[in-house]
Amino acid sequence: MKVAIIGTGYVGLTTAVVLATLNHDVTAVDTDKGKLGLLHAGKVPIHEPGIQNLFDKVRHTICFTPDVAEAVPEAELILITVGTPLKNGGANTRFVKQAALEVAQVCHPDRHYTLAIKSTVPTGTNRHVAKIIEKVFAARGVRGNVSVASNPEFLQEGLALQGSFYPDRIVVGADCEEAVNTLRCLYQPILEQTFDSPSSLPRPAGYQPPPMVTTDPNSAEMLKYAANTFLALKISFINEIAGLCEKVSADVTEVARGIGLDSRIGPRFLNAGVGWGGSCYPKDTAALLGVAAQSEYAMPITEAARTVNFRQRGRIVEKLQDALITLKGKTIGILGLAFKPNTDDIREAPALYIIRQLIKEGANIRAHDPVAIQNARHALNGFPVVFTNNVCELTHKADALVLITDWEEYQNMDLKALAKRMNTPFLIDGRNVYTPQEAEAAGFHYIGIGRSSDRVRSYAFDKSEL
Ligand code: UDX
């Protein structure tokens, strides 16, 4: 199928590469000349495991252009994948509307197109975009024939290719059958799992072909916000429980394991830690509250999920203060700057907030990250942070080590060697990567999340004690 993709950000570029791998004929549009230059030179401008490899295989089949008029007229399907940054507590849909307007200006009046919005947008945006397109056609004096559909994406950074080839579901919200059929046709290889899996991305064992959820546009748009908000509040819930565990000498990792085995709850997204960051949960929960406010509807659960989340970052600073008495003049090593592993994305990264707070309190900061240093350096411009590519350098005469991002390379560190180099070997484990026992055996004073110092051990209850 001939597909035009408007916007080559994280979602747009991943979608372009995946659709080209499925043998669709893709033209991708972006106004950012720098990004287009990199793409033309064969370089992927985002950090995402596996994407460069796949891009190398298909890039000669994808046309990258700054010109909507080159991509749209001959396409059957147009995917809008531009950003919707946060503005005044809501998602700014300006770029989505602008893209729709430009598309409508260059569509052939006598051809049918499906225009699907993949960007995360507030409820009602699809229908609003349909009106914008009608207006452009009216101004052009043509009838035009564009079906607008919502096709939200659920990609997780770091797992974007996996999530594209083997999704849990595909969601299409449309008022007309033609749009549903076009998108069903686009995703057929994925819906039926008939494509040859790329060698680097084998089909997960037991994976079943995903359902396609078809609904109306407003419900599809709401579904995306609801999914992200639910995951955000699941994490906030376990973080709230973690705080209480610390008070009552319980271990949140044990609690999470036990409740996660209840199939109604499920084990995923129950890792207590420094809280969520990134480009989605902070923005989408805020945007959902913005939609609610416009409807004069209170959403106390969503509000609380945000409150708990942002409090969690402050808890790290408090833990350091408790351990070190004062932060003034203390040297603190930070492990991890990206908001999560396998990405260089530092948007709303808890590490940035924590670093700024610690510097405010007079601490000296050294920071490490496998890939996000460049972005963090830019975001922390003006803050006196010493960046290093060597974990060992964080610990030389340091007063505390703080693990913020659970990168794989932090999971098997030589704790003994690190502790030895430190002035006071405190390990604040913001992701509960290590057990208190192993960290203490290596010489660290261990402080995790939701694990009290006189913690409970994981052993079966002796029934005679009951
Ligand atoms: C999320 C959604 O998962 C995805 O479906 C949507 O399309 C975009 O938003 P993403 O932001 O890439 O994806 O990251 P995700 O893996 O969901 O993690 C978000 C944040 O939650 C990270 O900061 C992560 O560290 C944190 N997290 C996740 C926890 O603190 N505990 C957990 O158990 C899981």
User: What does the pLDDT look like over 169-192, one tens digit per residue?
Assistant: 999 999 999 999 999 999 999 999
Closest approach atom of ligand 1 to CA 270: 33
**Confidence grade of residue 452 (pLDDT, cut at 50, 70, 90):** confident
Pocket test of ligand 1: the residue of 231, 274, 352 to mutate, having most ligand atoms within 8 Å of its CB, is: 231
Give 37 Cα–ligand 1 centroid separation in angstroms.
Answer: 30
Give 110 Cα–ligand 1 centroid separation in angstroms.
Answer: 43
Per-residue H/E/C for 133-188: HHHHHHHHCCCCCEEEEECCCCCCCCCHHHHHHCCCCEEEEECCHHHHHHHHHHHH
Give 219 Cα–ligand 1 centroid separation in angstroms.
Answer: 22
Give 435 Cα–ligand 1 centroid separation in angstroms.
Answer: 23
Pocket test of ligand 1: the residue of 14, 119, 169, 281 to mutate, having most ligand atoms within 8 Å of its CB, is: 281
Q: What is the 8-class DSSP label of residue 52?
A: H
Structure tokens at 398: 């340091």
pTM for the structure as a whole? 0.94
Closest approach atom of ligand 1 to CA 349: 23
Ligand 1 proximal residues by C-beta, below 6 Å: 153-157, 228, 231, 235, 269-271, 273, 276-278, 280-281, 339-340
pLDDT digits (tens, 9 = 90+) for 98-136: 999 999 999 999 999 999 999 999 999 999 999 999 999
- Structural domains of the chain, with CATH: 2-213 (3.40.50.720), 230-447 (3.40.50.720)
Does residue 113 contact residue 77 with C-beta atoms inside 8 Å?
yes
Annotation marks residue 392 as catalytic: no
3-state helix, strand, coil in the chain (%, to 5): 45, 15, 40
Among 433, 423, 234, 449, CA closest to 336: 433
Catalytic residue among 63, 185, 280, 392: 280
% the chain with pLDDT above 70: 97
Closest approach atom of ligand 1 to CA 163: 5
pLDDT digits (tens, 9 = 90+) for 352-408: 999 999 999 999 999 999 999 999 999 999 999 999 999 999 999 999 999 999 999
